[in-house]
């Protein structure tokens, strides 16, 4: 059996409005169970020619945030779904063809649980790396170079450049390059030439984020 999503702008708009009303309805359904129902319905409507899966997974996170189950949209459900793609599509077909809601809901609950565990472990690893980096740089860098604000800036994202230090008010432009070079010599950063400028990668942070 090949699933055929609804066609026609009016039909799709009406179904999306129905889904929107359900998302915002006040009811007694557990939010995580409701998440599974919302995700299935969006994928069944299939409103776009491309990107429905990605959009549906974004809606998952926005819904969890709106329900105050997440303070920030940091739960990357796509990783687990992609790694279990065959099960994901099999469960979707089970609902469509045989109304097998229970296996689908359990699959989505497992997706949230495993992703939450993975994300928590990653956050703890980043926190531990930050603490170690603060300790090492405080011990090894000259007092005029070391600052807590500087090291924390290196963890805002995996890479940095001199302008970031200037914009954060940590150093002036003349000394930004020197600070980054010292951090590279210490093994905290590694430089990469991109166009005309040097970008400095926080390699250990990047390794954690890439897992």
Residues 77 and 176 in one domain: no
Ramachandran category for residue 169: left, alpha or beta (phi over 0 → left; psi -120 to 50 → alpha):
left
Choose between 3 and 81: higher pLDDT: 81
Q: What is the mean pLDDT of residues 45-69?
A: 93
pLDDT, tens digit, 9 for 90 and up, residues 175-204: 999 999 999 999 999 999 988 888 999 999
Q: Specify whether 117 is located in the same domain as 150.
A: no
Strands 197-201 and 159-160: antiparallel
Residue 150: what pLDDT?
95
Q: Are residues 110 and 153 in the same domain?
A: no
145 and 115, same domain (yes or no): no
Rounded distance between C-alpha atoms, residue 65 and residue 152, angstroms:
26
Tell me the mean pLDDT in the region 35-59.
93
Q: Quick one: pLDDT at residue 1?
A: 56
Mean pLDDT of 159-174: 92
| Whether residue 100 is found in the same domain as residue 172 | no
Task: Show the CA angle centred on residue 209, arms to residues 124 and 157, nearest 5°.
Answer: 95
pLDDT value for 195: 86
In this predicted structure, what is the pLDDT of residue 2? 59
14 within domain boundaries: yes
Q: Residue 148 — pLDDT band, cuts 50, 70, 90?
A: very high
For residues 93 and 189, state if they share a domain.
no
User: Does 49 share its domain with 109?
Assistant: yes
- The residue segments making up the domain with residue 24 are 9-121
**pLDDT band (50, 70, 90) for residue 86:** very high
Alpha helices by DSSP H, the chain: 9-24, 31-45, 52-66, 77-83, 85-98, 101-140, 148-153, 162-167, 173-185, 203-210
Whether 132 is in a domain gets the answer no
Q: pLDDT value at position 37?
A: 97
- The length of the chain is 211
Q: Residue 3: which pLDDT band, with cuts at 50, 70 and 90?
A: low
pLDDT at 115 over 80: yes
Is 200 within a domain?
yes
Please check whether residue 129 lies inside any domain of the structure.
no
pLDDT in tens, 15-40: 999 999 999 999 999 999 999 999 99
If asked whether residues 15 and 114 sit together in one domain, one would say yes
105 pLDDT exceeds 90? yes
Q: What is the mean pLDDT of residues 135-159?
A: 94
């Amino acid at each position: 059996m090949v699933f055929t999503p609804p066609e026609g702008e009016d039909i799709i708009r009406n179904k999306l409005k129905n889904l929107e009303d359900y998302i915002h309805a006040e009811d007694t359904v557990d939010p995580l169970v409701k998440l599974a129902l919302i995700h299935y319905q969006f994928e069944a409507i299939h409103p776009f020619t491309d990107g429905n899966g990605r959009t549906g997974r974004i809606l998952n996170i926005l819904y969890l945030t709106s329900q105050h189950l997440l303070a920030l949209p940091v739960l990357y459900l796509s990783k687990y779904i992609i790694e279990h793609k065959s099960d994901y599509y099999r469960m979707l077909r089970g609902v469509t063809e045989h109304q097998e809601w229970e296996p689908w809901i359990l699959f989505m609950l497992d997706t949230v649980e495993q992703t939450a565990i993975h994300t928590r472990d990653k956050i703890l690893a980043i926190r531990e790396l930050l603490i170690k980096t603060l300790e090492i740089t405080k011990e090894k860098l000259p007092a005029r170079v070391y600052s807590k604000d500087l090291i924390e800036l290196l963890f805002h994202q995996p890479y940095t450049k001199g302008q970031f230090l200037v914009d954060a008010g940590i150093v002036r432009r003349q000394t930004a390059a020197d600070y980054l070079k010292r951090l590279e010599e210490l093994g905290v950063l590694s430089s990469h030439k991109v166009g005309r400028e040097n970008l400095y990668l926080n390699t250990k942070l990047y390794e954690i984020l890439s897992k």
